[in-house]
Structure 1
Amino acid sequence: MVGWENQIPYIGVTYFQLISSLVLLVVGYVVTKILVALFKKSIGKTKLPPLVVEFLSKFLSILLYTTVIILGLGVVGVSVSPLILGLSAVIGLILGFGLQDTLTNLAAGVWIAALRPVDLGEVVEVAGKTGSVSGIGLMSTELKTPDNKLITIPNKLIWGSIIVNHTRMPTRRVNVDIGVAYGTDLDGAIKLAMDLIRGHPKVLDEPEPTVVVTALADSSINLQLRAWTKTEDYWTVKGDLTKGIYELYTKEGVEIPFPQLDVHLKKG
Protein backbone atom coordinates (compact mmCIF):
# COMPACT_ATOMS: atom_id res chain seq x y z
CA MET A 1 0.00 0.00 0.00
CA VAL A 2 1.38 3.41 -0.98
CA GLY A 3 1.79 5.85 1.93
CA TRP A 4 0.68 9.44 1.79
CA GLU A 5 4.25 10.62 2.40
CA ASN A 6 5.72 8.53 -0.42
CA GLN A 7 6.89 10.50 -3.42
CA ILE A 8 5.26 10.03 -6.79
CA PRO A 9 7.80 8.78 -9.32
CA TYR A 10 9.26 11.28 -11.78
CA ILE A 11 7.54 14.40 -10.37
CA GLY A 12 9.12 14.57 -6.92
CA VAL A 13 6.02 15.38 -4.85
CA THR A 14 4.19 13.27 -2.31
CA TYR A 15 0.68 11.92 -2.74
CA PHE A 16 -0.42 14.11 0.16
CA GLN A 17 0.96 17.25 -1.52
CA LEU A 18 -0.68 16.40 -4.83
CA ILE A 19 -4.09 15.69 -3.30
CA SER A 20 -3.85 18.80 -1.11
CA SER A 21 -2.99 20.93 -4.12
CA LEU A 22 -5.90 19.57 -6.16
CA VAL A 23 -8.32 20.08 -3.25
CA LEU A 24 -7.03 23.63 -2.82
CA LEU A 25 -7.54 24.37 -6.52
CA VAL A 26 -11.09 23.00 -6.51
CA VAL A 27 -12.05 24.77 -3.29
CA GLY A 28 -10.37 27.96 -4.48
CA TYR A 29 -12.30 27.82 -7.75
CA VAL A 30 -15.62 27.38 -5.93
CA VAL A 31 -14.84 30.07 -3.35
CA THR A 32 -13.76 32.48 -6.08
CA LYS A 33 -17.03 31.92 -7.93
CA ILE A 34 -18.99 32.61 -4.75
CA LEU A 35 -16.97 35.70 -3.81
CA VAL A 36 -17.23 37.19 -7.30
CA ALA A 37 -20.99 36.56 -7.36
CA LEU A 38 -21.41 38.20 -3.94
CA PHE A 39 -19.21 41.12 -4.97
CA LYS A 40 -21.14 41.58 -8.19
CA LYS A 41 -24.47 41.45 -6.35
CA SER A 42 -23.42 43.93 -3.67
CA ILE A 43 -21.78 46.43 -6.02
CA GLY A 44 -24.73 46.07 -8.38
CA LYS A 45 -26.88 47.78 -5.75
CA THR A 46 -24.84 50.96 -6.12
CA LYS A 47 -25.32 53.59 -8.81
CA LEU A 48 -22.30 52.42 -10.77
CA PRO A 49 -22.97 51.71 -14.47
CA PRO A 50 -23.39 48.00 -15.36
CA LEU A 51 -20.25 48.12 -17.50
CA VAL A 52 -18.15 49.26 -14.52
CA VAL A 53 -19.65 46.50 -12.36
CA GLU A 54 -18.79 43.89 -14.99
CA PHE A 55 -15.26 45.24 -15.38
CA LEU A 56 -14.55 45.21 -11.62
CA SER A 57 -16.01 41.69 -11.28
CA LYS A 58 -13.76 40.34 -14.04
CA PHE A 59 -10.72 42.04 -12.52
CA LEU A 60 -11.47 40.52 -9.09
CA SER A 61 -11.97 37.03 -10.54
CA ILE A 62 -8.62 37.16 -12.40
CA LEU A 63 -6.86 38.32 -9.22
CA LEU A 64 -8.40 35.54 -7.10
CA TYR A 65 -7.75 32.79 -9.67
CA THR A 66 -4.09 33.85 -9.91
CA THR A 67 -3.78 33.75 -6.11
CA VAL A 68 -5.32 30.25 -5.95
CA ILE A 69 -2.93 28.93 -8.62
CA ILE A 70 0.11 30.36 -6.80
CA LEU A 71 -1.06 28.82 -3.50
CA GLY A 72 -1.62 25.48 -5.23
CA LEU A 73 1.92 25.51 -6.58
CA GLY A 74 3.21 26.36 -3.11
CA VAL A 75 1.50 23.30 -1.63
CA VAL A 76 3.37 20.94 -3.97
CA GLY A 77 6.66 22.46 -2.93
CA VAL A 78 7.21 25.08 -5.59
CA SER A 79 8.93 28.11 -4.07
CA VAL A 80 6.42 30.90 -4.45
CA SER A 81 8.70 33.88 -3.84
CA PRO A 82 11.03 33.27 -6.81
CA LEU A 83 7.95 32.51 -8.91
CA ILE A 84 6.37 35.85 -8.01
CA LEU A 85 9.61 37.68 -8.68
CA GLY A 86 10.05 35.87 -11.97
CA LEU A 87 6.49 36.62 -13.02
CA SER A 88 6.98 40.26 -12.07
CA ALA A 89 10.11 40.49 -14.20
CA VAL A 90 8.47 38.78 -17.16
CA ILE A 91 5.34 40.92 -16.84
CA GLY A 92 7.48 44.05 -16.62
CA LEU A 93 9.33 43.11 -19.79
CA ILE A 94 6.12 42.27 -21.62
CA LEU A 95 4.46 45.44 -20.49
CA GLY A 96 7.47 47.48 -21.50
CA PHE A 97 7.93 46.07 -24.99
CA GLY A 98 5.03 43.95 -26.14
CA LEU A 99 1.83 45.06 -24.45
CA GLN A 100 1.72 48.76 -25.09
CA ASP A 101 -1.35 48.38 -27.29
CA THR A 102 -2.91 46.01 -24.78
CA LEU A 103 -2.50 48.50 -21.96
CA THR A 104 -3.85 51.26 -24.16
CA ASN A 105 -6.90 49.14 -25.00
CA LEU A 106 -7.35 48.27 -21.32
CA ALA A 107 -7.17 51.91 -20.24
CA ALA A 108 -9.56 52.92 -23.02
CA GLY A 109 -11.95 50.15 -21.92
CA VAL A 110 -11.99 51.57 -18.39
CA TRP A 111 -12.81 55.06 -19.69
CA ILE A 112 -15.53 53.73 -21.99
CA ALA A 113 -17.09 51.77 -19.12
CA ALA A 114 -16.93 54.78 -16.79
CA LEU A 115 -18.00 57.62 -19.10
CA ARG A 116 -20.24 55.58 -21.43
CA PRO A 117 -19.94 57.43 -24.75
CA VAL A 118 -21.49 54.23 -26.14
CA ASP A 119 -23.76 51.75 -24.39
CA LEU A 120 -25.26 48.36 -25.09
CA GLY A 121 -27.99 48.40 -27.73
CA GLU A 122 -27.15 51.86 -29.08
CA VAL A 123 -26.51 52.42 -32.78
CA VAL A 124 -23.22 54.22 -33.25
CA GLU A 125 -20.78 55.20 -35.97
CA VAL A 126 -17.18 54.88 -34.84
CA ALA A 127 -13.82 54.15 -36.47
CA GLY A 128 -15.55 54.15 -39.85
CA LYS A 129 -18.03 51.42 -38.85
CA THR A 130 -21.73 51.64 -38.05
CA GLY A 131 -23.74 49.15 -36.02
CA SER A 132 -25.56 48.33 -32.80
CA VAL A 133 -23.33 47.91 -29.74
CA SER A 134 -23.61 44.24 -28.76
CA GLY A 135 -20.74 44.00 -26.29
CA ILE A 136 -18.11 46.11 -24.53
CA GLY A 137 -15.14 44.21 -23.10
CA LEU A 138 -11.87 45.08 -21.42
CA MET A 139 -9.97 45.08 -24.71
CA SER A 140 -12.49 45.57 -27.50
CA THR A 141 -16.02 46.63 -28.39
CA GLU A 142 -18.38 44.64 -30.62
CA LEU A 143 -20.82 46.12 -33.13
CA LYS A 144 -23.56 44.19 -34.92
CA THR A 145 -24.45 45.51 -38.37
CA PRO A 146 -28.00 45.55 -39.78
CA ASP A 147 -27.11 42.58 -42.00
CA ASN A 148 -25.98 40.65 -38.89
CA LYS A 149 -22.22 40.96 -39.22
CA LEU A 150 -20.17 41.17 -36.02
CA ILE A 151 -17.43 43.81 -35.98
CA THR A 152 -14.78 43.80 -33.23
CA ILE A 153 -12.99 47.12 -32.71
CA PRO A 154 -10.05 47.62 -30.28
CA ASN A 155 -11.04 49.98 -27.48
CA LYS A 156 -8.18 52.37 -28.24
CA LEU A 157 -9.76 53.05 -31.65
CA ILE A 158 -13.14 53.63 -30.01
CA TRP A 159 -11.76 56.09 -27.47
CA GLY A 160 -9.51 57.82 -30.01
CA SER A 161 -12.18 58.31 -32.69
CA ILE A 162 -15.08 60.65 -33.25
CA ILE A 163 -18.20 58.82 -32.04
CA VAL A 164 -21.58 59.48 -33.67
CA ASN A 165 -24.35 58.09 -31.47
CA HIS A 166 -27.52 57.74 -33.54
CA THR A 167 -29.85 56.61 -30.76
CA ARG A 168 -28.74 58.36 -27.55
CA MET A 169 -31.07 61.34 -28.03
CA PRO A 170 -34.84 60.79 -27.65
CA THR A 171 -35.74 62.56 -30.93
CA ARG A 172 -34.14 62.91 -34.37
CA ARG A 173 -34.74 64.95 -37.49
CA VAL A 174 -35.62 63.07 -40.66
CA ASN A 175 -34.24 64.61 -43.86
CA VAL A 176 -35.68 63.58 -47.22
CA ASP A 177 -34.17 65.11 -50.37
CA ILE A 178 -36.07 65.43 -53.64
CA GLY A 179 -35.64 67.49 -56.80
CA VAL A 180 -38.28 69.25 -58.92
CA ALA A 181 -37.92 70.54 -62.45
CA TYR A 182 -37.12 74.14 -63.25
CA GLY A 183 -40.35 76.03 -63.92
CA THR A 184 -42.22 74.15 -61.16
CA ASP A 185 -44.54 76.13 -58.90
CA LEU A 186 -42.29 75.99 -55.84
CA ASP A 187 -44.89 77.29 -53.41
CA GLY A 188 -47.31 74.61 -54.56
CA ALA A 189 -44.67 71.87 -54.35
CA ILE A 190 -43.64 72.97 -50.87
CA LYS A 191 -47.27 73.06 -49.70
CA LEU A 192 -47.86 69.53 -50.96
CA ALA A 193 -44.76 68.34 -49.09
CA MET A 194 -45.82 70.12 -45.89
CA ASP A 195 -49.28 68.56 -46.06
CA LEU A 196 -47.66 65.13 -46.44
CA ILE A 197 -45.40 65.70 -43.42
CA ARG A 198 -48.16 67.05 -41.17
CA GLY A 199 -50.41 64.15 -42.10
CA HIS A 200 -47.97 61.53 -40.81
CA PRO A 201 -49.03 60.31 -37.35
CA LYS A 202 -45.47 59.83 -36.09
CA VAL A 203 -44.14 63.27 -37.04
CA LEU A 204 -43.86 65.60 -34.02
CA ASP A 205 -45.44 69.07 -33.97
CA GLU A 206 -42.47 70.45 -32.02
CA PRO A 207 -39.94 71.23 -33.36
CA GLU A 208 -42.03 72.35 -36.31
CA PRO A 209 -41.47 70.50 -39.62
CA THR A 210 -40.24 72.48 -42.63
CA VAL A 211 -39.52 72.15 -46.34
CA VAL A 212 -36.55 74.17 -47.62
CA VAL A 213 -34.82 74.81 -50.93
CA THR A 214 -31.29 73.46 -50.60
CA ALA A 215 -29.75 73.97 -54.06
CA LEU A 216 -30.26 75.10 -57.63
CA ALA A 217 -28.67 72.08 -59.24
CA ASP A 218 -27.86 71.38 -62.89
CA SER A 219 -31.09 69.54 -63.63
CA SER A 220 -33.36 70.31 -60.70
CA ILE A 221 -34.32 72.57 -57.84
CA ASN A 222 -33.52 70.52 -54.76
CA LEU A 223 -35.91 70.47 -51.83
CA GLN A 224 -35.42 68.91 -48.41
CA LEU A 225 -38.26 67.70 -46.19
CA ARG A 226 -37.32 68.09 -42.51
CA ALA A 227 -39.50 66.35 -39.93
CA TRP A 228 -38.84 65.54 -36.26
CA THR A 229 -39.81 62.20 -34.78
CA LYS A 230 -38.98 59.88 -31.90
CA THR A 231 -35.68 58.09 -32.42
CA GLU A 232 -37.29 54.65 -32.53
CA ASP A 233 -39.59 55.84 -35.35
CA TYR A 234 -36.81 57.39 -37.46
CA TRP A 235 -36.58 54.77 -40.22
CA THR A 236 -40.34 54.31 -40.41
CA VAL A 237 -40.91 58.02 -40.94
CA LYS A 238 -38.01 58.34 -43.40
CA GLY A 239 -39.28 55.45 -45.50
CA ASP A 240 -42.88 56.68 -45.46
CA LEU A 241 -41.96 60.26 -46.42
CA THR A 242 -39.58 59.16 -49.19
CA LYS A 243 -42.19 56.89 -50.75
CA GLY A 244 -45.01 59.32 -50.05
CA ILE A 245 -43.44 62.40 -51.65
CA TYR A 246 -42.62 60.48 -54.82
CA GLU A 247 -46.16 59.14 -55.13
CA LEU A 248 -47.71 62.52 -54.27
CA TYR A 249 -45.66 64.49 -56.79
CA THR A 250 -46.34 61.88 -59.47
CA LYS A 251 -50.07 62.05 -58.76
CA GLU A 252 -50.15 65.87 -58.74
CA GLY A 253 -48.06 66.22 -61.90
CA VAL A 254 -44.99 67.72 -60.22
CA GLU A 255 -42.04 66.73 -62.41
CA ILE A 256 -39.14 64.99 -60.70
CA PRO A 257 -36.32 65.35 -63.24
CA PHE A 258 -33.31 63.15 -63.82
CA PRO A 259 -29.88 64.32 -65.03
CA GLN A 260 -29.88 65.06 -68.75
CA LEU A 261 -27.14 66.04 -71.17
CA ASP A 262 -27.81 67.83 -74.42
CA VAL A 263 -25.29 67.04 -77.18
CA HIS A 264 -25.12 69.36 -80.19
CA LEU A 265 -23.44 68.01 -83.32
CA LYS A 266 -21.86 70.59 -85.58
CA LYS A 267 -21.52 69.62 -89.21
CA GLY A 268 -18.17 70.37 -90.79
Structure 2
Amino acid sequence: MEIAEILSFPVPLSDITLESVVLAVLVAIIGWIVVKVLTSVFTKMLSRASKLPALVIEFLVRFFSVLLYVILALIVLATLGFDVSSMVLGLSAVIGLILGFGLQDTVTNLAAGVWLAAFRPIDKGEFVEVNGISGTVTSVGIMATELLKFDNTYITIPNSLVWGSPVINSTRMDTRRAEVKVRVAYDSDLNTAIRVATDLMAAHERVLPSPEPTVLVTELADSSVNLSLRAWAKTSDMWDVQWDLTRDIVGAFKEAGIEIAFPQVDIHLDRVQ
Protein backbone atom coordinates (compact mmCIF):
# COMPACT_ATOMS: atom_id res chain seq x y z
CA MET A 1 0.00 0.00 0.00
CA GLU A 2 1.40 3.39 -0.99
CA ILE A 3 2.00 6.20 1.50
CA ALA A 4 -0.61 8.38 -0.20
CA GLU A 5 -3.23 5.71 0.28
CA ILE A 6 -2.23 5.27 3.94
CA LEU A 7 -2.49 8.98 4.62
CA SER A 8 -5.86 9.16 2.91
CA PHE A 9 -7.19 6.32 5.06
CA PRO A 10 -9.92 7.69 7.38
CA VAL A 11 -9.73 7.37 11.14
CA PRO A 12 -12.39 4.91 12.37
CA LEU A 13 -15.74 6.41 13.33
CA SER A 14 -14.84 9.81 11.82
CA ASP A 15 -14.18 11.59 8.57
CA ILE A 16 -10.69 12.64 9.65
CA THR A 17 -7.86 11.24 7.57
CA LEU A 18 -4.42 10.29 8.79
CA GLU A 19 -3.02 13.00 6.56
CA SER A 20 -4.97 15.68 8.38
CA VAL A 21 -3.93 14.19 11.73
CA VAL A 22 -0.25 14.31 10.80
CA LEU A 23 -0.63 17.81 9.46
CA ALA A 24 -2.46 18.90 12.64
CA VAL A 25 0.35 17.47 14.79
CA LEU A 26 2.95 19.38 12.76
CA VAL A 27 0.89 22.56 13.04
CA ALA A 28 0.55 22.06 16.80
CA ILE A 29 4.32 21.57 17.26
CA ILE A 30 5.29 24.50 15.09
CA GLY A 31 2.56 26.66 16.64
CA TRP A 32 3.72 25.78 20.17
CA ILE A 33 7.24 26.91 19.27
CA VAL A 34 5.90 30.13 17.73
CA VAL A 35 3.79 30.86 20.83
CA LYS A 36 6.83 30.42 23.09
CA VAL A 37 8.93 32.74 20.92
CA LEU A 38 6.22 35.42 20.67
CA THR A 39 5.56 35.26 24.42
CA SER A 40 9.26 35.68 25.16
CA VAL A 41 9.55 38.64 22.77
CA PHE A 42 6.42 40.24 24.23
CA THR A 43 7.79 39.87 27.77
CA LYS A 44 11.11 41.49 26.85
CA MET A 45 9.33 44.35 25.06
CA LEU A 46 7.16 45.10 28.10
CA SER A 47 10.10 44.90 30.50
CA ARG A 48 12.29 47.24 28.47
CA ALA A 49 9.83 49.72 26.97
CA SER A 50 7.46 50.30 29.91
CA LYS A 51 7.59 51.14 33.59
CA LEU A 52 4.72 48.84 34.51
CA PRO A 53 4.89 46.92 37.81
CA ALA A 54 6.09 43.33 37.58
CA LEU A 55 2.63 42.03 38.57
CA VAL A 56 0.98 43.91 35.68
CA ILE A 57 3.59 42.66 33.21
CA GLU A 58 3.03 39.09 34.39
CA PHE A 59 -0.74 39.45 33.96
CA LEU A 60 -0.40 40.87 30.43
CA VAL A 61 2.06 38.15 29.40
CA ARG A 62 -0.25 35.41 30.68
CA PHE A 63 -3.25 36.95 28.92
CA PHE A 64 -1.28 37.22 25.65
CA SER A 65 -0.06 33.63 25.99
CA VAL A 66 -3.56 32.26 26.61
CA LEU A 67 -4.87 34.18 23.60
CA LEU A 68 -2.17 32.70 21.35
CA TYR A 69 -2.89 29.16 22.59
CA VAL A 70 -6.61 29.61 21.90
CA ILE A 71 -5.80 30.75 18.35
CA LEU A 72 -3.45 27.78 17.92
CA ALA A 73 -6.13 25.37 19.13
CA LEU A 74 -8.59 26.77 16.59
CA ILE A 75 -6.03 26.41 13.79
CA VAL A 76 -5.35 22.79 14.76
CA LEU A 77 -9.08 22.02 14.79
CA ALA A 78 -9.48 23.67 11.39
CA THR A 79 -6.60 21.54 10.08
CA LEU A 80 -8.45 18.43 11.24
CA GLY A 81 -11.43 19.51 9.16
CA PHE A 82 -13.67 20.93 11.89
CA ASP A 83 -15.79 23.97 11.21
CA VAL A 84 -14.42 26.51 13.69
CA SER A 85 -16.63 29.42 12.64
CA SER A 86 -19.30 28.47 15.18
CA MET A 87 -16.61 28.01 17.83
CA VAL A 88 -15.24 31.48 17.11
CA LEU A 89 -18.69 32.98 17.47
CA GLY A 90 -19.27 31.11 20.71
CA LEU A 91 -15.91 32.15 22.15
CA SER A 92 -16.54 35.73 21.10
CA ALA A 93 -19.86 35.72 22.94
CA VAL A 94 -18.29 34.19 26.07
CA ILE A 95 -15.36 36.62 26.01
CA GLY A 96 -17.73 39.53 25.48
CA LEU A 97 -19.85 38.39 28.43
CA ILE A 98 -16.79 37.99 30.65
CA LEU A 99 -15.42 41.38 29.66
CA GLY A 100 -18.84 42.94 30.19
CA PHE A 101 -19.02 41.74 33.76
CA GLY A 102 -15.33 42.27 34.37
CA LEU A 103 -15.26 45.81 33.06
CA GLN A 104 -18.43 46.86 34.84
CA ASP A 105 -16.57 47.80 38.01
CA THR A 106 -13.76 49.30 35.96
CA VAL A 107 -16.12 51.65 34.14
CA THR A 108 -17.82 52.57 37.41
CA ASN A 109 -14.49 53.38 39.07
CA LEU A 110 -13.39 55.36 36.01
CA ALA A 111 -16.59 57.43 36.04
CA ALA A 112 -16.26 58.01 39.78
CA GLY A 113 -12.67 59.15 39.25
CA VAL A 114 -13.88 61.75 36.76
CA TRP A 115 -16.43 63.10 39.25
CA LEU A 116 -13.82 63.19 42.03
CA ALA A 117 -11.47 65.13 39.78
CA ALA A 118 -14.22 67.56 38.83
CA PHE A 119 -15.76 68.29 42.23
CA ARG A 120 -12.75 67.58 44.48
CA PRO A 121 -14.45 66.49 47.73
CA ILE A 122 -10.97 65.30 48.71
CA ASP A 123 -7.54 66.42 47.65
CA LYS A 124 -3.95 65.35 48.05
CA GLY A 125 -2.58 65.99 51.54
CA GLU A 126 -6.00 66.19 53.24
CA PHE A 127 -6.96 63.97 56.15
CA VAL A 128 -10.26 62.25 55.40
CA GLU A 129 -12.47 59.38 56.48
CA VAL A 130 -13.92 57.33 53.63
CA ASN A 131 -16.14 54.31 54.15
CA GLY A 132 -14.93 54.00 57.74
CA ILE A 133 -11.23 54.30 56.79
CA SER A 134 -9.22 57.34 57.92
CA GLY A 135 -5.96 58.56 56.46
CA THR A 136 -4.07 61.26 54.59
CA VAL A 137 -4.79 61.38 50.86
CA THR A 138 -1.64 60.59 48.90
CA SER A 139 -3.18 60.16 45.46
CA VAL A 140 -6.52 60.49 43.67
CA GLY A 141 -6.18 58.40 40.51
CA ILE A 142 -8.57 57.60 37.71
CA MET A 143 -9.37 54.19 39.21
CA ALA A 144 -8.59 54.36 42.93
CA THR A 145 -7.81 56.71 45.82
CA GLU A 146 -4.82 56.04 48.05
CA LEU A 147 -4.66 56.89 51.77
CA LEU A 148 -1.82 56.72 54.28
CA LYS A 149 -2.89 55.99 57.87
CA PHE A 150 -1.20 57.26 61.05
CA ASP A 151 0.53 53.88 61.53
CA ASN A 152 2.02 54.12 57.99
CA THR A 153 -0.47 51.62 56.59
CA TYR A 154 -1.15 52.21 52.89
CA ILE A 155 -4.80 51.89 51.84
CA THR A 156 -6.18 51.74 48.29
CA ILE A 157 -9.91 52.41 47.92
CA PRO A 158 -11.80 52.03 44.60
CA ASN A 159 -13.14 55.38 43.43
CA SER A 160 -16.68 54.01 43.29
CA LEU A 161 -16.60 53.55 47.08
CA VAL A 162 -15.19 57.04 47.61
CA TRP A 163 -17.82 58.69 45.44
CA GLY A 164 -20.64 56.52 46.77
CA SER A 165 -19.87 56.98 50.48
CA PRO A 166 -20.03 59.94 52.87
CA VAL A 167 -16.61 61.62 53.03
CA ILE A 168 -15.51 63.30 56.27
CA ASN A 169 -12.83 65.85 55.41
CA SER A 170 -11.01 66.92 58.57
CA THR A 171 -8.59 69.40 57.02
CA ARG A 172 -10.56 71.24 54.33
CA MET A 173 -11.58 74.12 56.63
CA ASP A 174 -9.08 76.61 58.08
CA THR A 175 -10.26 76.19 61.70
CA ARG A 176 -11.68 73.36 63.76
CA ARG A 177 -13.14 72.96 67.22
CA ALA A 178 -11.33 70.82 69.76
CA GLU A 179 -13.52 69.12 72.36
CA VAL A 180 -12.51 67.51 75.64
CA LYS A 181 -15.09 65.72 77.79
CA VAL A 182 -14.56 65.43 81.52
CA ARG A 183 -16.70 64.26 84.44
CA VAL A 184 -16.71 65.97 87.86
CA ALA A 185 -18.19 64.71 91.09
CA TYR A 186 -21.57 66.00 92.23
CA ASP A 187 -20.13 67.44 95.44
CA SER A 188 -17.57 69.55 93.54
CA ASP A 189 -18.05 73.28 93.05
CA LEU A 190 -19.46 73.36 89.52
CA ASN A 191 -18.89 77.09 88.98
CA THR A 192 -15.25 76.72 90.00
CA ALA A 193 -14.82 73.76 87.65
CA ILE A 194 -16.23 75.78 84.74
CA ARG A 195 -14.01 78.77 85.54
CA VAL A 196 -10.85 76.64 85.83
CA ALA A 197 -11.58 74.89 82.53
CA THR A 198 -12.32 78.20 80.77
CA ASP A 199 -9.11 79.80 82.07
CA LEU A 200 -7.12 76.75 81.00
CA MET A 201 -8.39 77.02 77.43
CA ALA A 202 -7.97 80.80 77.27
CA ALA A 203 -4.35 80.51 78.44
CA HIS A 204 -3.39 78.05 75.71
CA GLU A 205 -1.33 79.86 73.08
CA ARG A 206 -2.90 77.97 70.18
CA VAL A 207 -6.53 78.43 71.21
CA LEU A 208 -8.17 81.14 69.10
CA PRO A 209 -9.82 84.02 70.99
CA SER A 210 -12.75 84.02 68.59
CA PRO A 211 -15.01 82.14 68.83
CA GLU A 212 -14.40 82.19 72.57
CA PRO A 213 -13.72 78.89 74.36
CA THR A 214 -16.71 77.61 76.25
CA VAL A 215 -17.56 74.98 78.84
CA LEU A 216 -20.96 73.28 78.65
CA VAL A 217 -22.75 71.01 81.08
CA THR A 218 -23.78 68.21 78.75
CA GLU A 219 -25.29 65.65 81.11
CA LEU A 220 -26.26 64.94 84.70
CA ALA A 221 -25.09 61.35 84.69
CA ASP A 222 -25.49 58.64 87.34
CA SER A 223 -22.12 59.27 88.97
CA SER A 224 -21.00 62.64 87.64
CA VAL A 225 -21.74 65.99 86.09
CA ASN A 226 -20.39 65.79 82.54
CA LEU A 227 -18.63 68.83 81.10
CA SER A 228 -17.52 69.55 77.54
CA LEU A 229 -14.55 71.87 76.97
CA ARG A 230 -14.79 73.41 73.49
CA ALA A 231 -12.02 75.52 72.02
CA TRP A 232 -11.37 76.68 68.45
CA ALA A 233 -7.95 76.40 66.84
CA LYS A 234 -6.32 76.37 63.44
CA THR A 235 -6.85 73.06 61.74
CA SER A 236 -3.15 72.26 61.84
CA ASP A 237 -3.13 72.90 65.63
CA MET A 238 -6.41 71.21 66.54
CA TRP A 239 -5.03 67.84 67.62
CA ASP A 240 -2.23 69.39 69.66
CA VAL A 241 -4.74 71.65 71.42
CA GLN A 242 -7.05 68.73 72.19
CA TRP A 243 -4.24 66.56 73.54
CA ASP A 244 -2.84 69.41 75.66
CA LEU A 245 -6.23 70.22 77.18
CA THR A 246 -6.91 66.55 77.91
CA ARG A 247 -3.61 66.30 79.76
CA ASP A 248 -3.67 69.65 81.57
CA ILE A 249 -7.29 69.57 82.79
CA VAL A 250 -6.37 66.78 85.22
CA GLY A 251 -3.74 68.88 86.99
CA ALA A 252 -5.84 72.05 86.87
CA PHE A 253 -8.81 70.34 88.53
CA LYS A 254 -6.61 68.65 91.12
CA GLU A 255 -5.01 71.98 92.04
CA ALA A 256 -8.44 73.64 92.37
CA GLY A 257 -9.83 70.80 94.49
CA ILE A 258 -12.22 69.58 91.79
CA GLU A 259 -12.74 65.84 91.91
CA ILE A 260 -12.84 64.02 88.57
CA ALA A 261 -15.58 61.45 88.99
CA PHE A 262 -15.50 57.77 88.15
CA PRO A 263 -18.41 55.35 87.84
CA GLN A 264 -19.58 54.10 91.22
CA VAL A 265 -22.58 52.27 92.62
CA ASP A 266 -23.99 52.48 96.16
CA ILE A 267 -25.25 49.16 97.52
CA HIS A 268 -27.67 49.14 100.48
CA LEU A 269 -28.18 45.92 102.42
CA ASP A 270 -31.40 45.59 104.35
CA ARG A 271 -31.69 42.94 107.05
CA VAL A 272 -34.66 40.70 106.37
CA GLN A 273 -36.67 39.90 109.54
For 2:110 and 2:225, the matched residues in 1 are separated by 51
Aligned match of 1:108 in 106, 112, 125?
Answer: 112
Q: Which amino acid counterpart does residue 191 of structure 2 have in structure 1?
A: D
Answer yes or no: is 1:243 the counterpart of 2:247: yes
SS of corresponding position for 1:105: helix
Correspondent of 2:153 among 138, 149, 155: 149
1:267, distance to aligned residue in structure 2 (A): 3.5
Kindly report which structure 2 residues correspond to 1:49-128, keeping only aligned pairs within 5 A, or say none: 93-128=97-132
- How far does the alpha carbon of each residue in 1:90-138 deviate from its partner, in whole angstroms, 9 at most, with x for none? 8854453322111111111111122111111111011011111122222
* 1:5 corresponding residue in structure 2: none
Which whole-Å CA distance do the structure 1 matches of 2:258 and 2:164 have between them? Answer: 48
* Alignment of structure 1 residues 211-226 onto 2, 5 Å: 211-226=215-230
Which residue of structure 1 lines up, in the alignment, with residue 264 of structure 2? 260
Aligned to 1:169: 173
Q: Is 1:134 matched up with 2:138? A: yes
Alignment partner, residue 52 of structure 1:
none
Partner of 2:212: 208
Match of 1:199 among 203, 206, 209: 203
Give the letter aligned to residue 112 of structure 1: L
Distance 1:246 1:154 in 2: 44
Aligned letter for 1:165? N
Secondary structure of the corresponding residue to residue 142 of structure 2 = coil
Matched, 1:188 2:185: no
Q: Kindly provide the amino acid, as one letter, of the partner of residue 237 in structure 2.
A: D
Matched positions, count: 202
Q: In the alignment, what sits opposite 1:39?
A: none
Q: What secondary structure does 1:98 align onto?
A: helix
Distance 1:112 1:91, change over 3 A: farther
Alignment of 1:23-42 (within 5 A): none
Q: TM-score, normalised by structure 1?
A: 0.66
C-alpha separation in 1, matches of 2:140 and 2:146:
6
Paired with 1:98 and 1:144, the residues of 2 have a C-alpha distance of: 28
C-alpha offsets along residues 186-244 of structure 1, whole Å, 9 cap, x if unaligned? Answer: 21111111111110111101111111111101111111111000000011100111111
Distance 1:91 1:167 in 2: 46
Distance in 2 of aligned mates of 1:134 and 1:116: 14
Query: Which whole-Å CA distance do the structure 1 matches of 2:117 and 2:97 have between them?
Result: 28
What secondary structure does 2:162 align onto? helix
Residues 210-219 or 138-147, more deviating: 138-147
CA distance in 1 between counterparts of 2:155 and 2:101 reads 28
Task: Specify the code of the residue in structure 1 equivalent to 2:244.
Answer: D
Larger radius of gyration: 2
Please state how far the C-alpha of 1:264 moved relative to its aligned partner.
Answer: 2.4
Please, which runs of 5 or more residues in structure 1 have no aligned partner? 1-9, 12-17, 34-85
Query: Which residue does 2:57 correspond to in 1?
Result: none
For the aligned residues, what is the CA RMSD? 3.3
Q: Residues 191 and 152 (structure 1 numbering): CA distance in 2 closer, same or farther, change over 3 Å? A: same
